[in-house]
A and B are shown apart, each in its own frame.
Chain A
Amino acid sequence: MESLLQVKNVEKVFGKGTNTFKALEDISFTIDHGEFVGIMGPSGAGKSTLLHVLATIDSPTKGDIYIEDENVAKMKGNQLVDFRRDHLGFIFQDYNLLDSLTVRENIVLPLAIAKLPVKEMDEKVESMAKAFGIAAILDKYPYQISGGQKQRTASCRALVSNPKLIFADEPTGALDSKSATDLLQALSSLNEEQETTIMIVTHDAFAASFCRRILFISDGHLFKEMNRGTHSRKAFYQMILEELAQLGGGGHDVI
């Protein structure tokens, strides 16, 4: 089976002339359909740059990124926007909900943009809201609900259009541990039941332990890969912590 995401020799350079900075260097990996992958690393390692490049929000200086058989690194302008709309979903640390719309309306937005029939939109919103446990608050406004509920709403919005690939940038960064657990459990059960492919960037070992596989990057290089395999989530969490401790210097800012 062909991989969903194929990253080949990606390099990203910021700046011009002599004053350049290599944020990413020679990054290559693949992600298959239905995977739940985490990307970890200390601050400044290039996690966010990598996510931006993969999510087509920024373009790489060199290299290719294939999503299925399309090379998004070579796409431009409207083509990119259409691709992003049709195939990718995003979850951000600060939720990015629209204050003036209700939870239901926020979730329906990507579907409305794709111009689906109203009945179908209604059904999708309902079932997605149930999966994330927010069916009861569908008609509330973002300022009336908690941070955890906001992030679940944002996740619903990212998943409702059934994208091929979900990118989550520090999704639990602003949540307390209970809310974070709820969200991650919802994401991982969606991943298991519906084989949604999810990639999250995090420096929180707890969040990362929900993933099936973790890629570590440091100073713009990919230097280690960990698979959860048959380990329990708790055992995996310990493994991650050990790995982070070995990473040294950056160790303290990952906890």
Chain B
Amino acid sequence: MTLFNIALKNIRKNMKSYGLYIGSTIFSIVIFFTFATLKYSGDISELAEESKQISGIMNASAFVLIIFVAIFILYSNAFFMRKRKKEVALYSLMGVRKQKIGFLLFFENMVIGIISLIVGIVAGFFLSQLLLSLLLKLMGLNIEIGFVFSSNAIIETMIVFMIIFLFTSLQGYRIIYRFKLIDLFQASKKGEDLPVAKAISVILGLAALVAAYWLALQDLTSPVWSYLGLAMPIVIIALTVLGTFLIFNSVLVYVLHRMKNRKFWAWKGLNLMTASQLLYRIRGNAKTLTIIATLSATTITAGGAVFGVYYDTGKTVEQSTPFTFMWQGHEENIDSSIVKESIHVDTKTIRVNSEQMEKEYTVIDQSTFEKLAKALEWEQTALNLTKGKVAMVEPFYNEQWMEEVANVSLQDVNYEVVQMYGESIFNLSTLPGTVIVTQDEVYNALHAEEITYQAVQLDNYKTHIDLSKELEAKPSTVDFSSAVQNYQDTLEGTGVMLFVGSFLGLVFLVATGSIIFFKMMTEAEDDKDKYSILYNIGVPKKEIKRTIRNQVGFVFLAPLILGLLHGTVALVAFSNLLQMNLLIPVVIWMATYVFIYILYYFITIQGFHKTIFHSIQEGN
């Protein structure tokens, strides 16, 4: 029997224990291949040509994905190898040379790799078709597409994974060489001291986190920003990661210590056991938990931001393009049944020289303003200007960043600004800049050329893309701007962002969940004996299950809560920066995240129970 045969047989016979490893490998391949197909698919490529941004996003995401998939496979491979140490030891004990065992494991891993590569690519092919149609829908494109098959995607997937498999196979080889037979006979397990938290690191941890949050919530205008400048984000991230680590390493250890020493709580049921198990577990896993919390925070923040922007597309468009159509020139024939409002706007452009700079203002009269404001359904439409007073419309006006303009002089006459509007009254691509509203008589008296614009508001504006194209094509519509077109364009960009964001978010989430799952399974293996003892001294299964639930729950919950907290702070900062209200999309996103996370919790509990109770049954 050749070595290759043994390797093949080994896999066939141990399908069950290989299942988890092969499963997670196939999963990684499916994810990566699907993404690669999307990246190379014709429809997206076309889009990508139009927008450098999209191809940039896709490439950067592919890179992140490769790193992530590699870490994930390495992690499950390590878990898998750990489970097989006994088998390896047995071969070694029987006198098989290390070299041979190494070859065996190398071959075996390569066989697993090739099989999962084939399965993964086939499964990924179907998944990518499904996701592609979903993506086009999100981008607001109604295109029928056939099956997309990309040889580039296959080649890229193969190259990436062959490298990863080669690496894990070599890793297996390395383990054999480091392996010592004595490990099999772990006769004397050394006891570990109960972890103790140093007061200084408890305080430092809390302080780091508070400082990071405080910094994140500072305004761009605050002195801290000017002091730290561009180093600010790095400082925030560093403080957050440090704080998170110290929370796990010290703060939680301290809290658990206090709880364990409070007899009224601890000496009740298995609380004592739960607390002491967690103490060892949290401290031993502080690094992993920090990674998980940071990953969760990143996923939550990125996903929330992307989803928020997508959710906000309509609003963003309406901010810069309040009217469905606007152009310079005369009225066009538009089906009157769909027109909500059609306004004829006369404007004059006045150049003002102040001390610092030269500025151009668009001036309109009060009656035009009132018509426009009414069409846009502004709250305050009536403007009662008296002599010497004007109003100002400054799109994106921000009290914090801009100085208030109290006076303005038009053709050597000084006027007092009595009213300030912070929204755009015109489509910015047709008529940008600051608008001044004057009394009708003042407007008429201004010496400047009068330019006429048309502003049209339609019912249900998002559906009139054809009309928009038709109007735009006419030579008579100068500086044409369209909310419909604008919406469509924005949607294409944010749609891809949303898709890529949620795709990566999902992958991160699954990987995070799986890492905890693997960790907990390893620990279940280590803790088997402890639970057998409990069962033997008469602790009912119900109680054992409860302490498992609490322990696993704590390990899941602690990084999730920190991740959500970090994410919330980051998103609050983000929405302050962009002046967007992200509450609804972010809550939807977080709820989805938590939901999937909870699913993982239950799967892990199931696995934990299986391991523990299987061994208890055997012990009998």
Taking Cβ atoms with an 8 Å cutoff, the residues of A that contact B are 52, 57-58, 78, 81-82, 84-86, 88, 90, 92, 96-101, 105, 108-113, 115, 118, 121-122, 141-144, 157-158
Contacts and interface: CB of A to CB of B under 8 A. Distances in A.
B488 interface: no
B97 to A, nearest CB: 36
A100 B542 CA distance: 21
B207 interface: no
Nearest to B193: A141
Contacts of B620: 52, 57-58
B541 interface: yes
B536 A78 contact: no
B279 A100 contact: yes
A183 to B, nearest CB: 18
Interface string B523-536: 00000001011101
Given A112-B268, A112-B269, A100 B276 contact: yes
A22 to B, nearest CB: 19
Contacts of B543: 113
Given A85-B538, A109-B537, A113-B543, A98 B191 contact: no
Given A98-B533, A113-B270, A141-B191, 14 more contacts: A57-B536, A58-B620, A78-B540, A78-B542, A85-B539, A85-B540, A86-B538, A98-B530, A100-B277, A101-B276, A105-B276, A109-B272, A112-B266, A143-B191
A143 B191 CA distance: 5
B264 interface: yes
10 contacts: A81-B540, A99-B189, A100-B530, A109-B273, A110-B538, A112-B268, A112-B269, A113-B543, A118-B263, A157-B537
A102 to B, nearest CB: 9
Contact of B264 (A108, A118, A142, A157): A118
Contact of A101 (B189, B273, B536): B273
Contacts of A52: 620
Contact of A113 (B191, B269, B277, B541): B269
Contact of B536 (A82, A92, A105, A143): A92
A86 B539 CA distance: 10
Instruction: In the A-B complex, list the 3 residue pairs whose CB atoms are closest, starting with the nearest.
Output: A143-B191, A85-B538, A100-B276
Given A112-B269, A113-B269, A84 B276 contact: no
B609 to A, nearest CB: 16
A143 B268 CA distance: 24
Interface in B248-297: 263-264, 266-273, 276-277, 279-280
A58 B620 CA distance: 7
B190 A96 contact: no
Contacts of A82: 540
Nearest to A52: B620
Interface residues of B, number: 32
The DSSP consensus for interface residues of chain B is helix
A121 B267 contact: yes
B191 A112 contact: no
Interface of B: 189-191, 193-194, 263-264, 266-273, 276-277, 279-280, 530, 532-534, 536-543, 620
Contacts of A98: 273, 276, 530, 533-534
B538 A142 contact: no
Contacts of A101: 272-273, 276
B194 to A, nearest CB: 7
Contacts of B193: 141
A143 B540 contact: no
Contact of B272 (A58, A112, A122): A112
Nearest to A143: B191
Contact of B194 (A57, A88, A92, A141): A141
Nearest to B263: A118
A99 B530 CA distance: 8
A25 B532 CA distance: 29
A180 B442 CA distance: 112
Contacts of A115: 268-269
B194 A113 contact: no
A77 B99 CA distance: 51
B527 to A, nearest CB: 10
B153 to A, nearest CB: 50
A99 B268 CA distance: 19
A144 B191 contact: yes
Contacts of B268: 112, 115
A82 B191 CA distance: 32
A118 B194 CA distance: 23
A126 to B, nearest CB: 13
A142 B272 contact: no
Contacts of B280: 100
Contacts of B189: 99
B384 to A, nearest CB: 77
Contacts of B267: 108, 111-112, 118, 121
Residue picked from B532, B538, B620, most chain A C-beta under 10 Å: B538
Nearest to A95: B533
A96 B533 CA distance: 6
Nearest to B538: A85
B271 A112 contact: yes
A99 B540 contact: no
B441 to A, nearest CB: 88
A60 to B, nearest CB: 13
A162 B122 CA distance: 64
Contact of A99 (B191, B263, B538, B542): B191
Q: Which among B267, B268, B273 has the highest number of chain A CB atoms within 10 Å?
A: B267
Contact of B537 (A90, A108, A121, A143): A90
